[in-house]
Chain A
Amino acid sequence: MNRSLEGRVAIVTGAGQGVGEGIARKLASLGAQVVIAARRAETGEPVASAIRADGGSAECIVTDVTTRGSIAACVDGTVSTHGRLDVMVHNAFAGGHASRLEETPADAWFQMSRTSAWASFWCAQLSYPHLKASDQGRLVLVTSPSGVEGSANIPLYSPAKAAQRAIAKSLAREWGPDGICVNCIAPVAETPALASAFSQVPTLRGAIEARTPLGRIGDPTDDIGGVVAFLAGPDSGYVSGQTIVCDGGSFLGL
């Protein structure tokens, strides 16, 4: 039984559903003590309960990543309970809806900017002392292939996600002397967010599947969680500043 993350403490934001839930389940299955940082207890608590029912360690801390104070409370609560924080995974995102650039509502851009760029900044800054204290500090930012390619459907989603890649590269430089690895994953997975996108753009699923060599959309736990587990674990100690595009081979431009 692989317990490569035994003894590690990880926060996963946006873990109440979708990719975040998949990541949290995978990290917990490998022995990590996982904090489900979810905006709503209604989604976060069931995920934590399910992980515990499977024999893992998890608790929910209600966290709104659009505010510094809420992320600070999550980090402080985690360290207070577990005495350490080794892995910060920032996955939460909101606000992406199809629109023309010139018609994008201000509140949608605010949500995208806050949950991606701003929250990455805050997650990084507030977790830094604890990641530095860990012997294997890891920061993983969940970006998107659209953060590399741009998007014709959600034009401001792409720069919001691109910012995370630049932050990761910069912090890989800045935190390298501290032994902290900082990376991104750009997934395509079956999630409520993607299901919503499919409802907005009915041709999107077919278009994605048609250009994906592996011919399917990823599973949040098995396909995405496994890659994050690698980035969070001991085998990725010489990987930093990278983006792993985890999309079945759809985007081949890196």
Chain B
Amino acid sequence: MGTNVRIKVVGAGPLAAQLSTALSERGHELVDAAPYEALVFAPWDPAVMVPRPIAELTDAEFDLAWQQTMDAAVAACTEARTAFAGNGGAIVLTLPTTALAGGDHYAHWAAAAEGVHILTKSVARQWGPEGIAVNALAISPELVLADAVVAGPVSIATPAVPNADPGAVVEFLCSNDARNLAGQLLTVDGGLWM
């Protein structure tokens, strides 16, 4: 993929750990603070992404899912722009395809995921002229939802690419090779969501 990149990965769950490992194994430097050239926002964590019928959903649960995720996404993007210090950079916002397909008993987390998805487009439009490439990476709900079965199928098809690994794609989106992409969503879920 060429030049190694200083990358900050935001998130404490297994998805963030998986992406961090993939990026580290590819020779990139993972950092917690500026300066860095790429941000990966991956807050999704099955420990908290539990299903709930909307009839039983509490305000605290909706706040945790929708409000706190969006607030964290905005904060991470804004911090990254400062960290890029006018030199451009890459922002990669991850989301489960539940954003696109909806999820039975998962309205709260689907709202957050689709919010992050469309935030990607807005930020790409505003910050693209500054040399900041903002794109999204969609991953399988099975990687982050506590109960993807409850959420319902994204597709009735079997995966075209079983066990698809998002590592190489997130590396690409962090690289200079992706600087001509803006507001795009690349989906690495085995081909279930098309």
- CB–CB B59/A68 < 8 A: yes
Chain B residues touching A, majority SS: helix
Interface string of A138-160 (1 = CB under 8 A from B): 00000000011111101111111
- CB–CB A158/B119 < 8 A: yes
- CB–CB B126/A173 < 8 A: no
Residue from A100, A118, A124, A149 in contact with B126 in the complex, judged by beta carbons closer than 8 Å:
A100
Task: Take A101-B123, A174-B53 as given contacts and tell me if A147 and B102 are in contact as well, using a CB distance cutoff of 8 Å.
Answer: no
Q: With both chains docked as a complex, state the minimum distance between the C-beta of B127 and any C-beta of chain A, in angstroms.
A: 8
* B17 part of interface (Cβ distance < 8 Å): no
- CB–CB B62/A118 < 8 A: yes
Residue from B57, B67, B70 in contact with A125 in the complex, judged by beta carbons closer than 8 Å:
B57
Interface 9-mer from B32-40, B106-114, B155-163: B106-114
Residue picked from B67, B113, B116, B126, most chain A C-beta under 10 Å? B126
Residue picked from B119, B124, B127, most chain A C-beta under 10 Å? B119
- CB–CB A150/B118 < 8 A: yes
Q: With both chains docked as a complex, state the minimum distance between the C-beta of A180 and any C-beta of chain B, in angstroms.
A: 11
Interface string of B136-164 (1 = CB under 8 A from A): 00000000000000001000000000000
* A220 part of interface (Cβ distance < 8 Å): no
Chain A residues touching B, majority SS: helix
Q: In chain B, what residue has the closest Cβ to A174?
A: B104
- CB–CB A170/B107 < 8 A: yes
- CB–CB A166/B126 < 8 A: no
Residue from B74, B105, B118, B125 in contact with A162 in the complex, judged by beta carbons closer than 8 Å:
B118
* B43 part of interface (Cβ distance < 8 Å): no
Interface string of B40-77 (1 = CB under 8 A from A): 00000000000001110101001000110010001001
Q: With both chains docked as a complex, state the minimum distance between the C-beta of B28 and any C-beta of chain A, in angstroms.
A: 26
Q: In chain B, what residue has the closest Cβ to A113?
A: B67
| A–B pairs, 9, beta carbons within 8 Å | A117-B67, A148-B118, A158-B121, A159-B119, A160-B115, A166-B98, A167-B107, A170-B105, A174-B54
- By a beta-carbon cutoff of 8 Å, the part of chain A in contact with chain B is 68, 100-102, 109, 113, 117-118, 120-121, 124-125, 128-129, 147-152, 154-174, 241
- By a beta-carbon cutoff of 8 Å, the part of chain B in contact with chain A is 53-55, 57, 59, 62, 66-67, 70, 74, 77-78, 81, 98-99, 101-108, 110-127, 152, 183
Besides A117-B67, A121-B62, 13 more A-B contacts (Cβ < 8 Å) are A117-B111, A150-B123, A152-B122, A152-B125, A155-B119, A155-B125, A159-B116, A159-B122, A162-B114, A162-B117, A162-B118, A168-B102, A174-B107
